Structure 1
Amino acid sequence: MTGRRAFRWHIVVFLAPAVLVYTAIMIIPLFGTLNLSLFNLDATRERVFVGLENFRTLFGDPRWSHSFWNALANNAWFFVVHMLVQNPIGILLAALLSSPRLRMAAFYRTAIFIPTILSFVIVGFVWKLILSPIWGIAPGILDMVGLKALFAPWLGKEEYALTTLALVSVWQFVGIPMMLIYAAMLSIPDEVIEAAEMDGVTGWSQFWKIKLPLILPSIGIISILTFVGNFNAFDLIYVAQGALAGPNFATDILGTFLYRTFFGFQLQLGDPHMGATIASVMFLIILLGVCVYLFLVQTRLRRYQF
């Protein structure tokens, strides 16, 4: 007679600290924010339940909806720049660094990854100095190569400011997709590469036909991490352009819009209930994006077992 399988208490013991910490700093605040978005203050400054009225105000009141859609559009463009610039460059760098013929590959990996660990404050302040038309070094460098006519106060022009900050963010974080793709390439068995070489598939042809299909799941993970990270972006824009995300809210994203609404800024009074409403919408957007990836993209990716 087979006895009952013993319950593995050690699993609970090891998981409990992580679960408790995650619940305390993530789950409880999340539900608190969702709850706060369903209330507002009446004429006597008493909190009353208003249901979805705050969401109707956010989407229906022109004073709120204009700022929200502007911030959402800027967030979307911020994400597109990272997807079209950061991730392809990261994949290209990983392909180059994985080449056995490249010397000093470890040095290059370290040099490219170092900006990732720098503080947002340092990165924002330094790039603001570099791009300054008054004391920045960018005009001088362009003048040295005969391209000074191309210089413009990129952080001061509405049409350039957001793209400039997105490219600064790309410079800082390109090391993350590079390292993830590099690790995925190292996991490809040598037998697969040797078989490809025996068939005459080498160089970039080998990358496109052999390596790229094998690392598609990793590219998918990087894409969803980029999506979540860019919709949570705040630090760089706040440091470089301030809470008003100038010029004329051209760099305003949902993070800065949430900050001004929740805490207030200058003459704008803080409104925790509308701030919680914006945070709830951000959560729903991120949740929708992740679900689309998990159920429509990830399930269609072909995986290879070695």
Structure 2
Amino acid sequence: MQPADRNIGRWQLAAFLAPALLIYALFSALPLVDTLRQGFFSSDDAGRQTFAGLANFRTVLFDADWSMAFWNAMRNNLLFFAIHMLLQNPIGLLLATLFSLKGLRGARTYRTLIFLPTLLSVVIIGFIWQLILSPLWGVGERLLGTVGAAGLFQPWLGQEGTALATLALISVWQYIGIPTMLIYAALLAVPEEIVEAAHVEGAGALRIFWDIKLPLIYPTLGLVTILTFVANFNAFDLIYSVKGALAGPNYASDILGTLFYRTFFGYQAQVGNANMGAAVATLMFLVILLGVGAYFVGVQRRLSRYAL
């Protein structure tokens, strides 16, 4: 390729990338940078900004009036993520494995039905499950009664010990289609020659899965894990639509997203504070950044060495 052609190719690439980069910078990168900046300032009653250094972060992490709410939200967020990791991704792996089997009748219908809740609005999902689980007019107790388990029904969304876990299970039900489809696509990409050679060697279906298919889809499983982590620590809409900004009962379902909302915008008796809200958002960003960094350092390197 001549140098002139090379230059034309670079200009064409820049022209195609420029609109996307501009939109990303205006609506994502610049707001993120400005949010990080606001966390280092404080405002007086007149709205004048003064540099506060790390004072806002010390307040959120160590002040008695703020730290309890922050660490409660952090613990709840970790539990929210753990439930997704222990249920959503293993079940997604199981479903994807079943869908990849040859000759499975109705596989397309099953895939559509499992992925369909992902396409629905979170507000609709939250409202529907509130109706189902309501102890006054919900059908949850009646459904359990059909299998002789009506006595197990409890107002799970209204109890401190079960509200967060119930919301996490609703989230798992709604979004399980995403890991299922990602893992299913990875399983379809496994070379058929390797599987057939294992069959010739006398390996059974279970051994082929554990010794051949599973190691080959490790990168996809890692991707699903990191996507689950980022999504869960950015979660907000389901908790807000079902339990409101107070994330009740008694903040039992409060996570970092709802804490940020109350801090930044204010709610009921709590007055909004943009600088303190920016500090909470910055801490959320750092948690996600550390989690992603730990994944790439501790997991991705091992996967790369394994592939080599």
TM-score where L is the length of structure 1: 0.96
Within the candidate set 46, 63, 66, 2:65 is matched to 63
Q: How does 1:18-57 map to 2 (within 5 A)?
A: 18-42=20-44, 45-57=47-59
Cα shift readout 1:97-143 (whole Å, capped 9, x = no counterpart)? 00002111111101100000010000000001000011111100111
What amino acid is the match of 2:279? Answer: T
Partner residue, 1:225: 227
Partner residue, 2:117: 115
Q: CA deviation at 1:201?
A: 1.6
Q: Give the length in aligned residue pairs.
A: 304
Mapped partners of 1:3, 1:99: distance in 2: 51
Mapped partners of 1:41, 1:129: distance in 2: 43
Q: CA deviation at 1:63?
A: 0.8
1:6 aligns with 2:6: yes
What amino acid is the match of 1:224? Answer: I
1:263 aligns with 2:268: no
What amino acid is the match of 1:290? Answer: V
Q: How does 1:26-175 map to 2 (within 5 A)?
A: 26-42=28-44, 45-175=47-177
Moved more, 288-297 or 76-85: 288-297
Mapped partners of 1:169, 1:264: distance in 2: 26
Q: CA deviation at 1:299?
A: 1.1
Mapped partners of 1:218, 1:156: distance in 2: 37
SS of residue matched to 1:159: coil
SS of residue matched to 1:103: coil
Mapped partners of 1:118, 1:44: distance in 2: 44
User: Gaps (5+ residues) in structure 1?
Assistant: none
Cα shift readout 1:235-254 (whole Å, capped 9, x = no counterpart)? 00001101000000000000
Mapped partners of 1:202, 1:74: distance in 2: 42
Partner residue, 1:205: 207
Mapped partners of 1:102, 1:33: distance in 2: 50
SS of residue matched to 1:48: strand
Partner residue, 2:277: 275
Mapped partners of 2:255, 2:224: distance in 1: 21
Mapped partners of 2:166, 2:207: distance in 1: 34
Q: CA deviation at 1:202?
A: 2.6
Q: CA deviation at 1:200?
A: 1.5
Q: CA deviation at 1:259?
A: 0.3
Mapped partners of 1:114, 1:45: distance in 2: 47
Hey, which bits of structure 1, 4+ residues long, moved more than 3 A?
2-5, 42-45, 302-305
Q: CA deviation at 1:5?
A: 6.8
Mapped partners of 2:235, 2:46: distance in 1: 36
What amino acid is the match of 1:198? Answer: V
User: Gaps (5+ residues) in structure 2?
Assistant: none
Q: CA deviation at 1:3?
A: 5.5
